[in-house]
């Protein structure tokens, strides 16, 4: 091989133009970082274990937001719930809501678009509550969610920063609301059951926004008393009609 052929081979080992060379070199640097990072872990997505970097989001000590770094070939839609192994904690997790032991549910909030980057960087939101409700088709639905409170200044700043680009949250941020994956079966006035017994809480959906952030829903709620969801008795032959007057709507 001549000197010129060797030079061309080394020059074009990452591509045949400046952009592709830069992209290829940074992807190789990320592969090295993937091997030596203390934040490396494996998560299950689409039935496969993929290696990722799961590290803190800026100076967030509350572990509410995190960065998820993946290879550029890994595409995860916003609103996807991932069960991430607890790297910094050795406590055994519960299996409530389908969560494996030692794992925490996180939602893909959005993808940060960075040109010529050797990896994909997703902003992840830690899920804090498990919701249950009966949808309009009479089926029991479930979803992980994060309860946004008025004191959560860090996440409020994040929503506002996103509003300057492609997120315009249309609900009143002074209210309490859930952030969860977009769900076509969650409507206004639905009755939400949060958590597990004996520490369940109950809310009524007062409004929602599914347009601001792709794949994500902001659902404002009001706390209410527990509903009695038991089925009303059915009138059988021989029963007194007056005993079922109000149960049947007063007709």
Q: What is the CATH number of the domain that holds 56?
A: 2.40.10
Mean pLDDT for 100-120 is 84
Sign of CA dihedral 64, 65, 70, 76: positive
**Whether residues 38 and 27 fall in one domain:** yes
Is residue 250 assigned to a domain? no
Average pLDDT over residues 79-91: 76
If asked whether residues 46 and 72 sit together in one domain, one would say yes
For residue 117, give the nearest of 56, 34, 15, 28 by alpha carbon.
28
pLDDT single digits (tens) 205-240: 998 888 888 899 999 999 999 888 777 677 777 677
Do both 1 and 108 map to the same domain? yes
Same domain, residue pair 122 and 154 = no
User: Within a domain: residue 248?
Assistant: no
- Out of 8-17, 173-182, 192-201, give the one with best mean pLDDT: 192-201
User: Same domain for 56 and 123?
Assistant: yes
Q: Structure pTM?
A: 0.76
In a domain, 154, yes or no: yes
Residue 132 is part of which domain span? 128-231
Residues 162 and 121 in one domain: no
Percent of the chain with pLDDT over 90: 37
Q: Are residue 33 and residue 46 in the same domain, yes or no?
A: yes
pLDDT tens digit string along 7-65? Answer: 556 666 666 666 777 777 788 889 999 999 999 999 999 989 999 999 888 766 667 88
Percent of the chain predicted with pLDDT > 70: 69
Q: Greater confidence, 134 or 250? A: 134
Same domain, 87 and 208: no
Q: Is residue 101 part of a domain?
A: yes
With CA atoms as reference, report the closest residue to 104 among 146, 58, 76, 165.
146
Asked if residue 237 is part of any domain, the answer here is no
Residues 6+ apart with CB under 8 A from 182: 79, 210, 215, 216, 217
Domains identified in the chain, total number: 2
């Amino acid at each position: 091989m001549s000197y010129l052929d060797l030079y061309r081979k080394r020059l074009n080992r990452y591509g045949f133009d400046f952009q592709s060379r830069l992209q290829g070199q940074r992807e190789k640097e990320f592969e090295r970082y993937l091997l030596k990072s203390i934040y490396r872990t494996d998560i299950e997505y689409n039935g496969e274990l993929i290696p990722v970097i799961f590290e803190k989001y800026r100076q967030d000590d509350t572990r509410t937001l995190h960065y998820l770094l993946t290879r550029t070939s890994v595409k995860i839609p916003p609103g996807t719930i991932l069960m991430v192994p607890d790297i910094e904690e050795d406590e055994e997790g519960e299996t409530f809501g389908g969560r494996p032991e030692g794992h925490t549910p996180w939602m893909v909030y959005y993808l940060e678009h960075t040109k010529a980057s050797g990896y994909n960087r997703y902003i992840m939101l830690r899920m804090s509550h498990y919701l249950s409700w009966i949808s309009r088709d009479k089926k029991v639905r479930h979803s992980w969610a994060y309860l946004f409170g008025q004191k959560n200044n860090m996440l409020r700043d994040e929503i506002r920063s996103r509003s300057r680009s492609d997120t315009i949250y249309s609900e009143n941020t002074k209210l309490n609301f859930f952030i969860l994956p977009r769900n076509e079966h969650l409507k206004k006035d639905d009755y939400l059951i949060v958590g597990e017994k004996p520490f369940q809480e109950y809310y009524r959906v007062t409004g929602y926004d599914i347009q601001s952030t792709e794949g994500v829903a902001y659902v404002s709620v009001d706390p209410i008393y527990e509903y009695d969801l038991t089925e009303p008795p059915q009138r059988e032959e021989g029963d007194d009609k007056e005993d079922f007057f109000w149960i049947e709507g007063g007709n």
